A and B are shown apart, each in its own frame.
Chain A
Amino acid sequence: MSPARLFQGGLVVVAAALAVYPFFGTGYGVRALLQLFMWIALAGSWNLISGLTGYVSFGHVAFFGAGAYTAAILITNAGWSWPLACAAAGVAACGLALLIGYPCLRLKGPYFAIAMLGLNEVLRALVSYFEGLTGGGSGLSLPTLQASVPIYYVMGLCAAAVTALTYVIITSRFGLRLMTIREDEVAAEAMGIDTARHKLYAFLLSAVGPGIVGGLAARDQGYIEPISVFPLATTITMIVMVLFGGKGTVWGPVLGAVILFVSQEVVWARFPYVHQLLFGAIIVAVVLLMPRGVLGILQIKYRLPRTV
Chain B
Amino acid sequence: MTAALELDAVKKSFGGVTAVNGVSLRLEPGRIYGLIGPNGSGKTTLFNCITGVERRDAGRIFFQGERIDGLKPWQIAVKGVGRTFQVTRVFPELSALENLLVVTRGDRAAAERRGRELLAFVKLEQLAGEYAGNLSYGQQKLVEFVRVLMRDPSLVLLDEPAAGVNRTLLNDLLEAVRRLRDEGRTVLLVEHDMKVVMGLCEVVFVLDHGDKIAEGPPGIIQADERVIEAYFGR
Cα-based distance from A179 to B92 in the complex (angstroms): 10
**Alpha-carbon distance A201/B91, docked complex (angstroms):** 21
With A183-B94, A190-B53, A192-B78 as known contacts, state yes or no: A176 contacts B102, CB within 8 Å: yes
CB interface residues, A 54-110, toward B, < 8 Å: none
Q: Is the CB of A192 within 8 A of B77?
A: yes
Please tell me if the beta carbons of B105 and A180 are within 8 angstroms of each other in the complex.
no
Q: Write out, one digit per residue, whether chain B residues 91-106 have a CB within 8 A of any chain A CB (1) or not (0).
A: 1111000100111110
Which A residues lie within 8 Å of B20 (CB)? none
The A interface, classified by DSSP as helix, strand, loop or mixed, is: helix
User: Measured between C-beta atoms, what is the minimum distance from B70 to chain A in Å?
Assistant: 15
B90 touches A187 (CB 8 A): yes
A189:B92 contact, CB within 8 angstroms: no
In the complex where A176-B98, A180-B94, A303-B129 touch, is A192 in contact with B89 (Cβ < 8 A)?
A: no
Q: Does A179 contact B129, Cβ atoms closer than 8 Å? A: no
Instruction: Determine the residue in chain B with the shortest Cβ distance to A292.
Output: B93
Is the Cβ of A184 less than 8 Å from the Cβ of B103?
A: no
Which residues of the other chain, A, contact B103 by a CB distance below 8 angstroms? 191-193
Q: Known contacts A180-B91, A180-B94, A303-B129: does B102 contact A191 (CB below 8 Å)?
A: yes
Q: Please count the residue pairs between chain A and chain B whose beta carbons lie under 8 angstroms apart in the complex.
A: 69
Complex CA distance for A196 and B212, rounded to whole angstroms: 35
Do residues B73 and A190 form an inter-chain contact, with CB atoms below 8 A?
yes
**Interface status of B113 (Cβ within 8 A of chain A):** no
Within 8 Å by CB of A191, from B52, B92, B108, B151, lies B151
How near does chain A come to B226, taking the closest CB pair, in angstroms?
32
For the complex formed, measure the closest distance between the CB of A202 and the CB atoms of chain B, giving whole angstroms.
14
Is A195 an interface residue, CB under 8 A from the partner? yes
A133 at the interface (CB under 8 A from B): no
Best-buried of B73, B91, B93, B102 by chain A (most CB within 10 Å): B102
Q: Chain B residues near A186: list those with CB within 8 A.
A: 53, 73, 89
Q: Is A194 in the interface zone, CB < 8 Å from B?
A: yes
Task: With A190-B77, A193-B103 as known contacts, state yes or no: A183 contacts B53, CB within 8 Å.
Answer: no
CA distance A194 to B89 in the complex (A): 17
In the complex where A189-B73, A190-B83, A191-B77 touch, is A177 in contact with B102 (Cβ < 8 A)? Answer: yes
B89 near A173: Cβ-Cβ < 8 Å = no
Q: A179 to chain B: which residues have CB within 8 Å?
A: 91, 93-94
Partner of A187, one of B85, B93, B104: B85
For B105, give the chain A residue with the smallest CB separation. A173
B26 at the binding interface (Cβ < 8 Å): no
Which B residues are in CB contact (< 8 Å) with A194?
72, 74
Which 3 A-B pairs give the minimum distances between C-beta atoms? A192-B77, A183-B91, A187-B89
Q: Would you list 26 pairs from A and B whose C-beta atoms are within 8 A, ordered by A residue? A: A173-B101, A173-B105, A176-B94, A176-B98, A182-B93, A183-B91, A183-B92, A183-B93, A184-B89, A186-B73, A187-B85, A187-B89, A187-B90, A187-B91, A188-B91, A188-B102, A189-B74, A190-B53, A190-B89, A191-B74, A191-B77, A192-B74, A192-B77, A192-B151, A193-B102, A193-B103
Q: Which residues of A are at the interface with B, using a C-beta cutoff of 8 A?
A: 173, 176-177, 179-180, 182-184, 186-195, 248, 303
Known: A176-B94, A177-B102, A192-B103. 7 other contacts (CB 8 A): A173-B102, A176-B102, A184-B90, A188-B74, A190-B77, A191-B102, A192-B74
